[in-house]
Amino acid sequence: MTAAGTLADPLAARLAHSLADPAALDALFASHLEGVALRTSRALEACGYSGLLMHSGSLLPIFQDDRTYPFEVHAPFKVWAPLLDVPDSFLYFEPGHRPLLVFHQPDDYWYKPPALPQGYWTRHFDIRPWRDRDESRRLLPRSLRSTAFLGDALEELASWGVGDINPPHLIRHLDYSRAAKSPYELACLRHASVLGARGHLAAARAFGAGAAEFEIELAFLAACGLREQDLPYNPIIALNGSGAVLHYQMLETHPPAERHSLLIDAGAEFAGYASDITRTYSHRDADFATLIERMDHMQQSLCCGVKAGVDWRDVHLRAHHLLAEVLREADIITCGAEEAVATATTSVFFPHGIGHLLGLEVHDAGGFIRSPDGGDIPRPDGHPYLRLTRVLEEGFVVTMEPGLYFIPQLLAAARADGRSTRINWSRVDSLRKFGGIRIEDDLAVTARSCENLTRDAFRTAAGAS
């Protein structure tokens, strides 16, 4: 099925680099697709549609240029098929019928067209290539009047006769059910975790050797076997005080004159599924290394409490209580833990949420939905940045990422209000140069506990190196 002169199947290349077993993925994918089809059928029936047409996404042009931004496939499309690099493809599903993949394969000499996909998942689809938008419409059912469309609102949709475009009630049904991962999805997430752990081990070695932020990223990419545009998000590679910037976006090309710490938040992707991993390292400072160790113990204690039936909001609030104890033990605050939480003193040092859903997107959809039929679950008062409020269910995958930061803006605000008397400012000033600490693992929720995908991946990656 491969067209002459086209690129090799990108997923096949990633399989070759990973520890993934194609035969095992093949065995799992059929059941996964059956589950996706079943829940989609139920959502379509509940919302009054007979079919679903999904768009992979389009290349977005850069302003006043003929170049485009890196392509990102839409999650509702890639939950069906691990097709990550083919813009303007369509997937049509009608309950009771084999899904149709209308695969964009332009006749182009400026860029190499994508090869027709091959591998473990393709036998489950009717795959039809097309070269222009008119041809793609002819490959779809004649009538789309009762079909819902998900994706970019293309100009052609009006003439195609699509019944509805991005209906919120249908999206809500699909997002709600997507939170629980199938065994196939969990396998992909495990592979993404191993790739990410390989990258982190290489990055830690580069930091130990005195590398700059940019060089640390290069080491991460090489170990993962991925290009930057193949990652699920831009890596955060922060030396020293830059660790206090939560989404630090710079990559300094020269190492700093003095080296104190590294905070690296970086993940990998496999078959469309992401890992999201953070580690913090001290450079020859025993005091800061001890603080990292305390945070690691705290993080692992939180992980031990994750299981089906747990309200994620309670996990977040417990994290603040545990952090208050760490801050008191480290002489960073002068009040007790209960007072630190009640007065939002802990929020000075830990302003973000304890974690989020993970899967096809780094911050996966459906984190607040009370039920498919309506209503959202509110965040706890005083915690506006929590990205997940649902009760955990078996199959959910969440991140666990407590942090302790010395953020200038938040410290300045605390110094100006009543929290000032609860903070040991001389201790804070001695720690500012380190920026902060974040330790993040990815957890697959089970009935009685959780599977720590990240810690398992580090063991696997370390054993293979």
Closest to 93 (Cα-Cα) out of 82, 81, 85, 105: 81
Full-model pTM: 0.94
Query: Residue 90: pLDDT above 80?
Result: yes
Q: What are the CA-CA distances from residue 87 to residues 62, 82, 91, 219 (Å)? A: 16, 13, 12, 29
The confidence score (pLDDT) of residue 11 equals 58
CATH code for residues 183-464: 3.90.230.10
Query: What pLDDT band is residue 1 in, cutting at 50, 70 and 90?
Result: very low
Q: Which residue has the higher pLDDT, 10 or 155?
A: 155
Task: Indicate the domain borders of the chain.
Answer: 10-177, 183-464
The confidence score (pLDDT) of residue 19 equals 54
Query: Distance between CA 265 and CA 217 in Å, rounded?
Result: 11
Under a CB-based contact definition with an 8 Å cutoff, are residues 83 and 119 in contact?
no
The confidence score (pLDDT) of residue 15 equals 54
Query: What pLDDT band is residue 2 in, cutting at 50, 70 and 90?
Result: very low
pLDDT tens per residue, range 242-268? 999 999 999 999 999 999 999 999 999
Quick one: tokens of 197? 């752990």
pLDDT tens per residue, range 267-311? 999 999 999 999 999 999 999 999 999 999 999 999 999 999 999
The confidence score (pLDDT) of residue 199 equals 98
The confidence score (pLDDT) of residue 9 equals 56
Mean pLDDT, residues 371-391? 97
DSSP 3-state assignment of 31?
A: helix
Q: Which CATH architecture has domain 10-177?
A: 3-Layer(aba) Sandwich (3.40)
Percent of the chain scoring above 90 in pLDDT: 93
Query: What pLDDT band is residue 62 in, cutting at 50, 70 and 90?
Result: very high
Quick one: tokens of 327? 């801050």
- In our burial notation (b when 16+ CB lie closer than 10 A, e otherwise), range 121-159 reads bbebbebbbbeeeeebbebbeeebeebbbbbbebeebee
The confidence score (pLDDT) of residue 24 equals 87
Mean pLDDT, residues 406-410? 98
Average pLDDT of the chain is 95
Q: What are the CA-CA distances from residue 61 to residues 65, 291, 334 (Å)? A: 7, 46, 54
| β-strands 90-93, 100-104 pairing | antiparallel
Residue 427 one-letter amino acid: R
Q: What are the CA-CA distances from residue 297 to residues 307, 321, 329 (Å)? A: 18, 14, 13
Mean pLDDT, residues 432-447? 98
Q: Which residue has the higher pLDDT, 193 or 2?
A: 193
DSSP string for residues in 50-64: SEEEEE---PPBPTT
Closest to 315 (Cα-Cα) out of 398, 234, 414: 398
**Which residue intervals of 251-392 are DSSP H helices?**
286-304, 312-329, 337-342, 346-349
Query: Residue 408: pLDDT above 80?
Result: yes
Under a CB-based contact definition with an 8 Å cutoff, are residues 29 and 120 in contact?
yes
Q: How many residues does the chain have?
A: 465
Query: Distance between CA 344 and CA 178 in Å, rounded?
Result: 34
Mean pLDDT, residues 448-463? 97
Q: 362 exposed, middle or buried (CB, 10 Å; 0-12, 13-18, 19+)?
A: middle
The confidence score (pLDDT) of residue 21 equals 77
The confidence score (pLDDT) of residue 6 equals 36
